[in-house]
Amino acid sequence: GDSVTQMEGPVTLSEEAFLTINCTYTATGYPSLFWYVQYPGEGLQLLLKATKADDKGSNKGFEATYRKETTSFHLEKGSVQVSDSAVYFCASNDYGGATNKLIFGTGTLLAVQP
Amino acid sequence: KAGVTQTPRYLIKTRGQQVTLSCSPISGHRSVSWYQQTPGQGLQFLFEYFSETQRNKGNFPGRFSGRQFSNSRSEMNVSTLELGDSALYLCASSPQGGSGTEAFFGQGTRLTVV
């Protein structure tokens, strides 16, 4: 079945460092792809999304490009801040009709140190 | 616009009991999905309701059930609680459905089974 694989954490960076969190997916069709972020004690918030190949999603300095040839949707940010510390989830929308089912990766904890 | 509201935020139950969790979606949203989040299994899809009908279901035992009311509010029920049911239960609402639609998450209900 469809699945999402993302790099294990935790990822520890110094402020202003470059961030990459890898995400790959398997799917029988052409899913939409998402990055969600979860701050301590909170639910998930959508960070960005892409709905078709070569689309680039971006928000708050984060970017990710939907690469069909490598089935990837890696999250990047040029200069992280302490406030970016959170758990990041890559997700795909289960292709196959009108459904909102999301398939999530295991999550990557990002810790940014001042 | 009010966000997704889940009640209660915290619950402690005893093995063998049953529990009902509630979710009020964003006004106008007709789709409500439920997810279970645990450290070991991550985020797993439970089920989705749209216009009072269950239109997708994850791989959970029949002890897990749900329903949606005409005002789109949803409840999920877990009967005969087991220790392994301890988790954060997240509800997400969406305007309609289909690939690419953003899901808006509530803060979750933290269930502890003792």
Q: Is A110 helix (H, G, I), strand (E, B) or coil?
A: strand
- Nearest to residue A71, comparing CAs of A38, A105, A46, A37? A105
pLDDT confidence of B1, banded at 50, 70, 90?
low
Identity of residue A56: K
* Contact yes or no for A74/A83 (Cβ under 8 A): no
Q: Flag if B56 and A105 touch (Cβ within 8 Å).
A: no
Range of lowest pLDDT (A16-20, A105-109, B59-63, B101-105): B101-105
Helix H, strand E, coil C: the string for A4-27 is EEECCCCEEEECCCCEEECEEEEC
pLDDT at A29: 79
pLDDT at A28: 81
Can you spell out the DSSP letters for A29-83? Answer: S---EEEEEE-TT--EEEEEEE-STT-EEEETTEEEE-BTTTTB--EEESS--GG
- Which phi-psi region, left, alpha or beta, contains residue B16 (left: φ > 0; alpha: ψ -120 to 50)? left
Q: What is the mean pLDDT of residues B60-68?
A: 97
In the predicted structure, residue B100 carries a pLDDT above the cut 80: no
| Nearest Cβ partner for B100 among A93, A101, A103 | A93
Q: Flag if B45 and A105 touch (Cβ within 8 Å).
A: no
d(CA B81, CA B64): 10
In the predicted structure, residue B99 carries a pLDDT above the cut 70: no
Q: Flag if B92 and A100 touch (Cβ within 8 Å).
A: yes
B42 vs A contacts (CB less than 8 Å): 104-107
Q: What is the token pair recorded at B104?
A: 């808006």
Instruction: Report pLDDT digits (tens) over B12-50.
Output: 999 999 999 999 999 999 999 999 999 989 999 999 999
d(CA A18, CA B77): 44
- Nearest to residue A24, comparing CAs of A56, A68, A71, A64? A71
In the predicted structure, residue B76 carries a pLDDT above the cut 70: yes
Residue numbers in chain A where pLDDT is lower than 50? none
Largest CA distance in chain B: 39
Identity of residue A90: C
Q: How many CA atoms lie within 13 A of B57 on its CB side?
A: 12
* Contact pairs from chain A to chain B, CB under 8 Å: 72
Range of lowest pLDDT (A46-50, B33-37, B53-57, B107-111): B53-57
Range of lowest pLDDT (B4-18, B49-63, B76-90): B49-63
In the predicted structure, residue B8 carries a pLDDT above the cut 90: yes
